[in-house]
Amino acid sequence: MSFKDLDEIEKELKKIQNEKRFRHTTGVEYTSACLAMRWGADLHKALLAGLLHDCAKHMKPQDLLKECIEKKIPYTKAQERSPFLLHGPVGAYFARNKYGVKDQEVLGAITWHTTGRPGMTLLEKIVFTADYIEPGRDQAPDLERLRQMAFTDLDGAVVLILRQTLDYLEESGAQIDPMTRDTYEYYRKMKREV
Protein backbone atom coordinates (compact mmCIF):
# COMPACT_ATOMS: atom_id res chain seq x y z
CA MET A 1 0.00 0.00 0.00
CA SER A 2 1.26 3.42 -0.92
CA PHE A 3 -0.12 6.92 -0.84
CA LYS A 4 -1.27 6.31 -4.39
CA ASP A 5 -3.57 3.57 -3.07
CA LEU A 6 -4.94 5.97 -0.46
CA ASP A 7 -5.63 8.46 -3.26
CA GLU A 8 -7.48 5.88 -5.29
CA ILE A 9 -9.62 4.79 -2.35
CA GLU A 10 -10.37 8.45 -1.60
CA LYS A 11 -11.59 8.96 -5.17
CA GLU A 12 -13.76 5.86 -4.95
CA LEU A 13 -15.31 6.96 -1.64
CA LYS A 14 -16.00 10.44 -2.95
CA LYS A 15 -18.27 8.84 -5.53
CA ILE A 16 -20.36 6.84 -3.05
CA GLN A 17 -20.47 9.18 -0.05
CA ASN A 18 -22.37 12.43 0.21
CA GLU A 19 -20.37 15.60 0.80
CA LYS A 20 -20.87 15.64 4.55
CA ARG A 21 -19.86 12.02 5.04
CA PHE A 22 -16.84 12.39 2.77
CA ARG A 23 -15.68 15.37 4.80
CA HIS A 24 -16.14 13.35 7.98
CA THR A 25 -14.21 10.47 6.38
CA THR A 26 -11.18 12.60 5.57
CA GLY A 27 -11.51 14.22 9.00
CA VAL A 28 -11.20 10.79 10.62
CA GLU A 29 -8.39 9.83 8.23
CA TYR A 30 -6.19 12.76 9.24
CA THR A 31 -7.21 12.84 12.91
CA SER A 32 -6.23 9.15 13.09
CA ALA A 33 -2.90 10.10 11.54
CA CYS A 34 -2.33 12.81 14.15
CA LEU A 35 -3.11 10.40 16.98
CA ALA A 36 -0.83 7.78 15.42
CA MET A 37 2.01 10.34 15.44
CA ARG A 38 1.34 11.13 19.08
CA TRP A 39 0.96 7.56 20.32
CA GLY A 40 3.44 5.79 18.07
CA ALA A 41 1.09 3.77 15.87
CA ASP A 42 1.72 2.96 12.21
CA LEU A 43 0.92 6.14 10.31
CA HIS A 44 -0.10 4.50 7.08
CA LYS A 45 -2.40 2.00 8.79
CA ALA A 46 -4.04 4.86 10.68
CA LEU A 47 -4.69 6.79 7.45
CA LEU A 48 -6.07 3.69 5.74
CA ALA A 49 -8.33 2.62 8.63
CA GLY A 50 -9.58 6.19 9.15
CA LEU A 51 -10.32 6.57 5.45
CA LEU A 52 -12.24 3.30 5.22
CA HIS A 53 -13.98 3.24 8.62
CA ASP A 54 -17.39 4.34 7.26
CA CYS A 55 -17.10 2.81 3.78
CA ALA A 56 -20.33 0.86 4.32
CA LYS A 57 -22.22 3.64 6.10
CA HIS A 58 -24.06 4.72 2.93
CA MET A 59 -25.99 1.43 2.97
CA LYS A 60 -29.47 1.10 4.45
CA PRO A 61 -29.60 -0.86 7.74
CA GLN A 62 -31.65 -3.68 6.19
CA ASP A 63 -29.17 -3.97 3.32
CA LEU A 64 -26.31 -4.23 5.82
CA LEU A 65 -28.08 -7.16 7.45
CA LYS A 66 -28.76 -8.73 4.05
CA GLU A 67 -25.10 -8.33 3.13
CA CYS A 68 -24.09 -10.13 6.34
CA ILE A 69 -26.41 -13.02 5.62
CA GLU A 70 -25.33 -13.31 1.98
CA LYS A 71 -21.61 -13.00 2.64
CA LYS A 72 -21.69 -14.99 5.88
CA ILE A 73 -20.35 -12.11 7.95
CA PRO A 74 -21.06 -13.02 11.58
CA TYR A 75 -23.36 -10.76 13.58
CA THR A 76 -24.87 -10.67 17.06
CA LYS A 77 -28.46 -10.36 18.30
CA ALA A 78 -27.80 -6.74 19.27
CA GLN A 79 -26.53 -5.97 15.78
CA GLU A 80 -29.57 -7.68 14.29
CA ARG A 81 -31.81 -5.42 16.41
CA SER A 82 -29.91 -2.27 15.35
CA PRO A 83 -28.47 -3.22 11.96
CA PHE A 84 -26.81 0.17 11.35
CA LEU A 85 -24.23 -1.13 13.87
CA LEU A 86 -23.16 -3.53 11.11
CA HIS A 87 -21.59 -0.76 9.01
CA GLY A 88 -18.32 -1.49 10.85
CA PRO A 89 -18.16 -5.25 10.18
CA VAL A 90 -19.53 -4.85 6.64
CA GLY A 91 -17.07 -1.98 6.09
CA ALA A 92 -14.22 -4.30 7.09
CA TYR A 93 -15.54 -6.89 4.64
CA PHE A 94 -15.54 -4.28 1.85
CA ALA A 95 -12.09 -3.06 2.89
CA ARG A 96 -10.79 -6.59 2.39
CA ASN A 97 -12.75 -7.56 -0.70
CA LYS A 98 -13.21 -4.29 -2.62
CA TYR A 99 -10.24 -2.23 -1.51
CA GLY A 100 -7.68 -5.01 -1.12
CA VAL A 101 -6.81 -4.41 2.54
CA LYS A 102 -5.20 -7.48 4.07
CA ASP A 103 -3.94 -6.03 7.31
CA GLN A 104 -5.83 -7.51 10.29
CA GLU A 105 -5.17 -4.49 12.48
CA VAL A 106 -6.70 -2.13 9.93
CA LEU A 107 -9.67 -4.46 9.46
CA GLY A 108 -10.14 -4.64 13.25
CA ALA A 109 -10.12 -0.85 13.56
CA ILE A 110 -12.89 -0.63 10.94
CA THR A 111 -14.89 -3.48 12.49
CA TRP A 112 -14.91 -2.03 16.02
CA HIS A 113 -15.09 1.71 15.36
CA THR A 114 -18.70 2.18 16.60
CA THR A 115 -18.92 0.18 19.85
CA GLY A 116 -15.26 -0.41 20.57
CA ARG A 117 -14.41 -3.65 22.35
CA PRO A 118 -12.62 -4.60 25.55
CA GLY A 119 -8.89 -4.85 24.91
CA MET A 120 -8.72 -2.76 21.76
CA THR A 121 -5.42 -2.47 19.91
CA LEU A 122 -3.78 0.96 19.81
CA LEU A 123 -4.98 1.43 16.23
CA GLU A 124 -8.54 0.46 17.21
CA LYS A 125 -8.53 3.03 20.02
CA ILE A 126 -7.14 5.65 17.67
CA VAL A 127 -9.83 5.23 15.00
CA PHE A 128 -12.57 4.92 17.65
CA THR A 129 -11.44 8.21 19.17
CA ALA A 130 -10.77 10.02 15.89
CA ASP A 131 -14.31 9.19 14.75
CA TYR A 132 -15.65 11.13 17.74
CA ILE A 133 -13.30 14.11 17.82
CA GLU A 134 -12.50 14.86 14.15
CA PRO A 135 -12.82 18.59 13.37
CA GLY A 136 -16.22 18.27 11.65
CA ARG A 137 -17.93 16.95 14.79
CA ASP A 138 -19.82 19.59 16.79
CA GLN A 139 -22.55 17.80 18.77
CA ALA A 140 -20.81 16.15 21.71
CA PRO A 141 -20.46 17.94 25.05
CA ASP A 142 -16.99 18.95 26.22
CA LEU A 143 -15.41 18.43 22.82
CA GLU A 144 -12.60 20.87 23.45
CA ARG A 145 -11.50 19.02 26.57
CA LEU A 146 -11.95 15.65 24.91
CA ARG A 147 -9.83 16.68 21.93
CA GLN A 148 -6.99 17.65 24.25
CA MET A 149 -7.44 14.51 26.30
CA ALA A 150 -7.07 12.31 23.21
CA PHE A 151 -3.50 13.60 22.99
CA THR A 152 -2.67 13.33 26.70
CA ASP A 153 -4.65 10.30 27.94
CA LEU A 154 -6.03 8.10 25.17
CA ASP A 155 -7.68 5.51 27.47
CA GLY A 156 -9.28 8.36 29.44
CA ALA A 157 -10.67 9.76 26.19
CA VAL A 158 -12.07 6.33 25.28
CA VAL A 159 -13.85 6.15 28.67
CA LEU A 160 -15.30 9.63 28.29
CA ILE A 161 -16.53 8.97 24.74
CA LEU A 162 -18.25 5.76 25.85
CA ARG A 163 -19.78 7.45 28.89
CA GLN A 164 -21.20 10.22 26.70
CA THR A 165 -22.44 7.71 24.13
CA LEU A 166 -24.18 5.60 26.81
CA ASP A 167 -25.76 8.73 28.33
CA TYR A 168 -27.03 9.76 24.93
CA LEU A 169 -28.38 6.30 24.12
CA GLU A 170 -30.03 5.94 27.53
CA GLU A 171 -31.66 9.34 27.17
CA SER A 172 -32.96 8.62 23.69
CA GLY A 173 -34.20 5.15 24.66
CA ALA A 174 -32.16 3.43 21.94
CA GLN A 175 -31.15 -0.23 22.09
CA ILE A 176 -27.70 -0.50 23.59
CA ASP A 177 -25.31 -3.12 22.23
CA PRO A 178 -23.82 -4.92 25.29
CA MET A 179 -20.45 -4.50 23.58
CA THR A 180 -20.67 -0.72 24.14
CA ARG A 181 -21.28 -1.25 27.87
CA ASP A 182 -18.61 -3.94 28.15
CA THR A 183 -16.08 -1.67 26.49
CA TYR A 184 -17.00 1.17 28.83
CA GLU A 185 -16.67 -1.04 31.94
CA TYR A 186 -13.36 -2.46 30.74
CA TYR A 187 -11.72 0.95 30.21
CA ARG A 188 -13.31 2.50 33.29
CA LYS A 189 -11.83 -0.26 35.45
CA MET A 190 -8.49 0.04 33.70
CA LYS A 191 -8.40 3.77 34.46
CA ARG A 192 -9.29 3.16 38.11
CA GLU A 193 -6.42 0.74 38.48
CA VAL A 194 -3.83 3.18 37.14
What is the contact surface with ligand DGI in residues (CB under 6 A)?
Answer: 24, 54, 57, 82, 113-115, 131, 165, 169, 174-177, 180
Q: Distance (Å, rounded) from C-alpha 59 to C-alpha 63?
A: 6
* CB of 115 vs ligand DGI, minimal distance in Å: 5
Among 54, 67, 124, 177, binds Fe ion (CB under 5 A): 54
Nearer to ligand DGI, 82 or 121 (CB): 82
Sign of CA dihedral 11, 14, 15, 16: positive
Nearer to Fe ion, 176 or 190 (CB): 176
Nearer to ligand DGI, 60 or 193 (CB): 60
Kindly report the backbone phi and psi dihedral angles of residue 165, in degrees, each rounded to the nearest multiple of 5, phi listed first: -65, -45
* CB of 140 vs Fe ion, minimal distance in Å: 13
Q: Distance (Å, rounded) from C-alpha 42 to C-alpha 180?
A: 26
Listed residue (39, 34, 65) closest to 50, CA to CA: 34
Q: Confirm if 126 and 32 have CB atoms less than 8 A apart.
A: yes
Among 29, 67, 131, 177, binds Fe ion (CB under 5 A): 131
Task: Classify 119 in phi/psi space as left (phi over 0), alpha (psi -120 to 50) or beta.
Answer: left
Residue 82 binding partner per list Fe ion, ligand DGI, none, with a CB distance cut-off of 5 to 8 Å that depends on partner kind: ligand DGI
Nearer to ligand DGI, 2 or 172 (CB): 172
Determine the straight-line distance between the first and last CA of the chain, rounded to whole angstroms.
37
Residue 176 binding partner per list Fe ion, ligand DGI, none, with a CB distance cut-off of 5 to 8 Å that depends on partner kind: ligand DGI
User: Which residues sit at the interface with Fe ion, rule CB under 5 A?
Assistant: 54, 131
